Amino acid sequence: MRPFGAIAAALLTASAVCAAEIPQADRRSGYSFMKADTKAMQDEDTANPGMLWVLDGEALWKRKLGAANKACADCHGDARTSMKGIAARYPAFDKAAGRPIDLEQRINSCRSNHQQATPLPFESRELLALTAFVSRQSQGTPIETGADPQLAPFIARGGERYMQRQGQLNLACANCHDDNWDKKLVGSAITQGHPTGYPLYRLEWQSLGSLQRRLRACITGIRAQAYDYGAPELVELELYLMSRARGMAMEAPGVRP
């Protein structure tokens, strides 16, 4: 166990942009903490319930809709080539918004601007399905999020939030996921919090869910007020976590307990 001083030291250096609180060589995907039965669910497509959303997403990708009567495929063609590696770079800087947006927001911006259709609600089956289908095309690719220099101040803000103690339990994300990841909380393994598999199928949820859903549950867990879906604070946290996982392999759709 690390001395308590390490937590204080981490908090003092919180403003630094640091992608290496956990040394590179020690970084582990949440997958590696799972029992063999749960790993087996992710390992094989026909055993992985997340693939049901990928299938739905593939159908949606080809469906013409909106005032423009366009399908995703009409502009982007075959996702197997056009979307390869894309999810591994999100959240990404969006010129129009002047700030980072995550993959769900990117899909919705495409719907509004190019398909002239109404945006899909966060955590709706359709949005999860499209996100899962696009993310699946990056399976096995190393995460590259955060390479764009315009993202630096947003990554820094996400990092500060990650180190900031909050809520009635007065815990920062780092207190569990940097300092105690080799331990357990009740029966669950504390992981390092690398979002390599999102959107992913949680056995607890019995459904696919987004990284924002997971972050909101974590924030509620420390009894702090969770940010709304789509809030800039959540996107910055996603951005920080993805850039912290840079180089790790994308697993979407992952399976977690």
Using CA atoms, how far residue 223 sits from 29, 150, 169, 218, in Å, is 26, 33, 6, 9
Residue numbers 129-148 binding other proteins by CB under 8 A: 129
> What is the Cα–Cα distance from 137 to 213, expressed in whole angstroms?
22
Phi, psi of 164 (to 5 degrees): -85, 125
Interaction between residue 49 and other proteins (CB under 8 A): yes
Site mask, other proteins, residues 216-245, x = CB under 8 A?
xxx-xx------------------------
Q: What is the DSSP letter of 131?
A: H
Interaction between residue 204 and other proteins (CB under 8 A): yes
Interaction between residue 187 and other proteins (CB under 8 A): yes
**Which of 55, 71, 73, 156 is in the footprint of other proteins by CB under 8 A?**
55
Q: Are strands 184-185 and 99-101 parallel, antiparallel or unpaired?
A: unpaired
Interaction between residue 46 and other proteins (CB under 8 A): yes
- Find the catalytic residue in 72, 75, 110, 218: 218
DSSP 30-84: GGGGS-HHHHHHHHSGGG-THHHHHHHHHHHHT--BTTTTB-HHHHH--HHHHTT
> What is the Cα–Cα distance from 144 to 216, expressed in whole angstroms?
24
Site mask, other proteins, residues 6-35, x = CB under 8 A?
----------------------------xx
How many residues form the binding site for other proteins (CB under 8 A)? 35
Beta-sheet strand order (sheet of 207-209)? 207-209, 200-202, 255-256
Q: Which residue blocks in the chain are alpha helix, DSSP H?
A: 5-12, 36-43, 50-61, 72-76, 79-82, 103-110, 125-136, 152-163, 173-177, 211-221, 232-244
- At position 61, the amino acid (one-letter code) is W
103 or 171: CB nearest other proteins: 171
Structure tokens at 210: 């987004």
229 touches 101 (CB < 8 A): no
138 or 191: CB nearest other proteins: 191
Interaction between residue 81 and other proteins (CB under 8 A): no
56 or 178: CB nearest other proteins: 56
Interaction between residue 47 and other proteins (CB under 8 A): yes
38 or 164: CB nearest other proteins: 38
Interaction between residue 71 and other proteins (CB under 8 A): no
38 or 109: CB nearest other proteins: 38
List interacting residues with other proteins (CB under 8 A).
Answer: 34-35, 37-38, 40-41, 45-47, 49, 51-53, 55-56, 59, 125-126, 129, 185-188, 202-207, 216-218, 220-221, 257
For the annotated catalytic residues, the residue numbers are: 218
